[in-house]
């Protein structure tokens, strides 16, 4: 039984922008140095940690195509945990990441314990969901989704002194195929050439964002790790 309370339901004040910059040809330490020298005085907020995600989608990958086709309203469903990839995971978070145009929110719930390893099966994963303490409405929303991909990367965290603008640097991106019946994790894709810088801030702070963006030597890029993972694993 999961004893944790529901984590978060989005409110209008939570709506935020995530501006993404896909960087090639530079190591993470160089991008981090640029952030630390930025006039907005970005400073490290947390130590680096590994981020792991299982993405869930419909059998026809409707969330993938909504993102590829640029629909105004789109979502991604993922189960996220940190640090070691292969382990008994008792601290994962279920996230419905929703976008309306360029503005996004997250709806989060504690996820039931599962084991990520060769014994991972889609049917067992689904059973864990249906027997969990997740709200009935959430279980209903998950009843028709399937494994899509798993991804993993290193993330560094930064913020301005007032914490109104936050930035993350993601490097060492790896993507894994997830099978329904067995998983040896040999079908994977490693991206050694790109990293992703994200600038995150609330909608109310958008008027000030152009000063920060203009001081970065990178271009805003439309980017999705989920879309990239699907295309590199399956297409």
Quick one: which H or E segment has residue 141? Answer: helix 136-142
Residue linked to tokens 């060492």: 172
Q: Domains in the chain, start-ordered, CATH in brackets?
A: 12-234 (3.20.100.30)
Work out whether the CA dihedral 48, 31, 97, 18 comes out positive or negative: positive
In order along its 235 residues, the chain shows pLDDT tens digits of 333 445 666 655 689 999 999 999 999 999 999 999 999 999 999 999 999 999 999 999 999 999 999 999 999 999 999 999 999 999 999 999 999 999 999 999 999 999 999 999 999 999 999 999 999 999 999 999 999 999 999 999 999 999 999 999 999 999 999 999 989 999 999 999 999 999 999 999 999 999 999 999 999 998 899 999 999 998 8
What pLDDT is stored for residue 91 in this prediction? 98
Structure tokens, 85 = 């990839």
The conformational region for residue 123 under phi > 0 = left, psi -120 to 50 = alpha, else beta, is alpha
Q: How many CA atoms lie within 13 A of 123 on its CB side?
A: 2
Let me know if 90 is exposed, middle or buried by CB neighbors in 10 A (0-12, 13-18, 19+): middle
What pLDDT is stored for residue 71 in this prediction? 96
19 touches 107 (CB < 8 A): no
What pLDDT is stored for residue 14 in this prediction? 86
157 touches 45 (CB < 8 A): yes
What pLDDT is stored for residue 52 in this prediction? 98
CA angle 130, 99, 90 (to 5 degrees): 35
Give which of 32, 29, 28 is closest to 43, Cα–Cα. Answer: 32
What pLDDT is stored for residue 12 in this prediction? 54
What pLDDT is stored for residue 62 in this prediction? 97
Facing residues of 135 across strands?
A: none
């Amino acid at each position: 039984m999961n004893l944790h309370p529901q984590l978060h339901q989005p409110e209008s004040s939570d709506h935020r922008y995530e501006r993404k910059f896909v960087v090639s040809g530079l190591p993470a330490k160089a991008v981090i140095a640029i952030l630390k020298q930025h006039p907005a005085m970005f400073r490290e907020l947390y130590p680096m940690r590994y981020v792991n995600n299982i993405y869930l989608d419909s059998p026809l990958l409707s969330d993938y195509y909504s993102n590829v086709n640029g629909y105004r309203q789109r979502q991604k469903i993922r189960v996220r945990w940190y640090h070691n990839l292969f382990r008994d995971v008792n601290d994962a978070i279920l996230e419905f990441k929703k976008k309306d145009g360029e503005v996004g929110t997250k709806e989060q719930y504690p996820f039931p314990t599962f084991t990520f390893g060769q014994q991972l099966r889609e049917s067992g994963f689904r059973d864990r969901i249906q027997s969990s303490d997740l709200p009935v409405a959430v279980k209903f929303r998950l009843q028709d989704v399937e494994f899509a991909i798993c991804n993993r990367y290193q993330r560094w965290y930064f913020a301005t002194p007032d914490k109104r603008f936050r930035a993350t640097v993601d490097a060492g991106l790896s993507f894994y195929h997830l099978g329904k019946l067995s998983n040896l994790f040999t079908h994977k894709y490693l991206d050694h050439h790109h990293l992703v810088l994200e600038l995150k801030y609330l909608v109310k702070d958008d008027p000030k964002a152009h000063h920060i963006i203009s001081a970065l030597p990178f271009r805003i890029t439309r980017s999705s790790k989920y879309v990239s993972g699907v295309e590199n694993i399956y297409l």
